[in-house]
Amino acid sequence: TATTDIDAEALVRQLGSTEFQEREAASATLEKLGYRARTAVRKAIASDDPEVRARTRKLWKKLRWAVVDDTDGNVASLLKNIRRRKVTVDAWEQVIMQHGVPMVEFVLELRQERNLIVASQLGMITLLDWLDTMAIERELMPRVSDRPHEMLSLMDSLPTRNGSVTVAVNRLRLYALLGAVDRVERYGPDLWHHWQSEMIINEVAYCMMHATPQTDLWPAAGTNLYYQDDVEALCDTLYFYVVLGHKLKSPDIITHLIDIAAPDGAHPASLEPIAEFLSDNHYTKALATLIEDTGDAPLLYLQAVAGDDDDRQAFWSTIDKVADEEIECLRLAALLDGRDSLQMINMLDRVLALKPDNTVYDTRAAYSLAHYYVTIADYGRAAGYYERIEDSEHVQRAVAGITLANLKGLIKDLRERPANAEYSRLIVSATDARERQDYTAVISACREAIALQPKAEPAYMLLFDACKSAHMIDELRAVGQQAITVTPNDSNGNLRATSITCDIMEFEKSLTFANEAIRQAPEAPQCYLSRAFTLERLGRYDDAVKDFEHVLKMSTHYGQCYEGLGLVLAQKGDYRQAARNFEKAMHYDGDPDYLLLWMYLCYRRTGFDSSGWVRDYRECRQLGDDKWIGSLFAACLGEIKSEELLAAARKAPTPAIAAGQLC
C-alpha cells in the first residue's frame, strides 16, 4: 500500500494492541511514514495508554524534525546550521519558499530548546513575511489551532522593530484569529510606531469591529496615552488612536483622547500629521482642541482649510503675525504645495526674508524656489536661486544628492536658455488651473504657451497631464506624440517619454525610451521599473518579472514592484501568486482600493473567499460620497448587478482608467 494511503492515527491506536507483533509493525510503519505520521504521533504522546505513550515518545525523537518531505536535505541542513549558529535569513527564506506553512511546526519545535529560541524567532519572522491571507486561514490556522499558547508565546517574543510591514500585519491578523484581542490592543500601537503603515491600523480596526465588547479598547488607549513619557512618542501614539477612532466610527472618543493626551509640550511639527488627518476628515472640534494655544502657522492653516471661505480669508489676513519663524514658513510651504502655488512661493520667499540669514532653512527654501521656477520656465530666476545656495555651507545637509558640480552645471544650463516672460506667465496660469482641476483652462494656457515656445517641455507636460485627467483620449495621443519630441535625451527625459508613450499605447517606442534611460542611468531603479510596466503591457511577462525582481533587490520601490508582479501573474493565470503580490503591495502604500479589489478577484479565481476582509475594509474606509468606488466594491461582493455598475461608471465625475478596466 502507498504510504500516502495509510491512516497514521489508526496506526497510533495499533501501538496499544495486545499483540506484540502488531505493535512492532505499527511502530515501524509510523517511522517509515515520517512527516506524514508526525502530527498523529505528537498528539499521542499524552495518551492514557502507557504502551502508546512509551512508543510515541520513542518515535517522536526520530520524527521531531520531520515536518516536510526533506528529500533534498534542505531542512536537515538548516537545522545543522542553526545548531552551529551559522544560519542566515537567506537560508530561512529558501526553505520556507520551498516548503511553506508546514515549516511553522519546525519553528515551534526550535522554541522547545532554550539555546535555539533566537533561531525560532528568526524563522517565525521569515514565515510571517511569506504568509498571506489565504495561507493563514486555510493552511496555518488548522495546524496551530490546537497549540495557541505556543504560537502566542513565540509571537510575543518577536521584537516589534524586526521584519517588515507584512510581518507586523500578519502578526496582528494571527493574534485576532487566535482570539488574542488583548495582544492586538497591546502591540498595535508599537507596531504602528515602527512601521507607520495604515494597514496596521486597519488590522487593529478589523479585530476591534468583531470584538465583543469593545469596552476595554478605549480605557486601555487612555491609559497608554496618559502614562506616555516621551512627548514625540505620545504624538505618534495619539495619531494611531485618532485614526483608529475614525475607522471604528467613534468620533466622540477622538476629542476625549486628545484631552487625555494633552500634548501641550509637543513640537508643532509632531502635531501636524494629526492635525492634517483631523482637517481632511472635518473633525473641527477635535482639531481646535489639539492646536489650542500653539499659534503655529501650519496648524492654523489646517484649521482654516477645514472651515469655510471666511476662515481661510481670516487666516491669510493674519499671516504676517502668525508665520514669524523660518521653520514654520517652510512647513507651511510644504502643506501648500499642490494646493496653492502662489501662497507656497510667498512662504518660501518669507523664509529667505526672515532672520537669521544663511541657515539650512534658507538653503532648502532657495532650492525649492529654484525648482519651482524651472517648472514654470522662468529660467533666469531659477538660476538666481541656485546661485544663492551655491556657496552655502548647508547645501549638502539641506538637499540630498546634490553636489557643487551639479549646481554649477544647472546654473550654466539655465543661463543659456532663452527667457520669455509671457510664456512663464501662461505656465503659472496653467499650474494654478490644474490645482483647481480646471482642465479646460490648463489646456488653453498650455496651447498659448506652446505657440510662443514650440520646443519648451513644461507646457507639453502640463498639457498631456490635463488631457489625461480630462479623459480627452484623442487629444492625449496627439499631444503625447508631440511631447516626446521635446523631452531631453537624458535619463529623466527618457523616463518621461517612456511613461507618455506607454499611456498612448505606443509600447515599442516606450520600450526603446526605457532601454535608453537604463543605458544612461544603470543604477536608477525607476528606469527598470518603467521598463517592467512597459514589458507587461507588451505581454512579455517573463521579462517584466525579471525587471520587477531586479528592482526589489536594489531599492525600496516595493509597492509598485509587488503591484506590477501581481498584474503580470494575473495575466499569466497564476491567480494564487498574483493575489499574494497584490496583498504585499497594499502593505507598502499602494492604492488600497484598487489592490484590494484585484486581490479579492484573484483569490476568488482560486476558490478562496476573502469577501469578509473586503467588507471589513469597506466599513473602515467610510466611502462617504465616493459612490463610484462604493459601486465597485458592491459589484465585486455581488450586492449589485453588472448593469448597475456600468450605470454608476457613467455617472462618475472622473472615473479612473484603472477602475474602468477593473469594471
| 3-state secondary structure (DSSP) of residue 1 | coil
Which of 554, 502, 495, 546 has its CA nearest to residue 519? 495
Q: 183 and 217 in contact (C-beta within 8 Å)?
A: no
List strand residue ranges (DSSP E) for 490-592, in order: none
**Mean pLDDT of all residues belonging to the chain:** 90
Q: What is the DSSP string of 62-102?
A: HHTT--S--TT-HHHHHHHHHHTT---HHHHHHHHHHH-TT
Q: pLDDT averaged over consecutive 10-residue blocks of the chain (663 residues)? A: 66 90 90 86 88 90 88 92 90 94 94 92 96 95 92 95 94 96 94 94 94 79 92 95 95 94 91 96 94 93 91 89 92 93 94 91 92 89 90 70 76 86 92 91 95 91 92 89 94 95 95 96 94 96 95 84 95 95 92 91 94 92 77 88 82 54 48
pLDDT for the residue 61: 86
pLDDT for the residue 87: 85
Other Cβ atoms closer than 10 A to 179: 12
Alpha-carbon span 189 to 217, nearest angstrom: 12
Q: 450 and 459 in contact (C-beta within 8 Å)?
A: yes
pLDDT for the residue 42: 86
Q: What is the pLDDT of residues 224-242, one digit of tens each?
A: 999 998 999 999 999 999 9
List Cβ neighbours of 453 (8 Å cut-off, separation of 6 or more).
377, 418, 420, 423, 459
SS (H, E, C) 459-515: HHHHHHHHHHHCCCHHHHHHHHHHHCCCCCCCHHHHHHHHHHHHHCCCHHHHHHHHH
Biggest alpha carbon–alpha carbon distance for the chain = 103
Q: What is the DSSP string of 410-473?
A: HHHHHHHSPP-HHHHHHHHHHHHHHHTT-HHHHHHHHHHHHHH-TT-HHHHHHHHHHHHHTT-H
pLDDT for the residue 474: 84
**CATH code given to domain 3-60:** 1.25.10
Eight-class DSSP state of 160: T
Q: What percent of the chain has pLDDT over 90?
A: 65
Alpha-carbon span 70 to 104, nearest angstrom: 15
Alpha-carbon span 312 to 123, nearest angstrom: 54
Q: 397 and 360 in contact (C-beta within 8 Å)?
A: yes
Q: 380 and 414 in contact (C-beta within 8 Å)?
A: yes
pLDDT for the residue 419: 82
Tell the burial category of 152 from Cβ atoms under 10 Å away from its Cβ (0-12, 13-18, 19+): middle
List Cβ neighbours of 54 (8 Å cut-off, separation of 6 or more).
none
Q: What percent of the chain has pLDDT over 70?
A: 95
Eight-class DSSP state of 145: T
pLDDT for the residue 484: 96
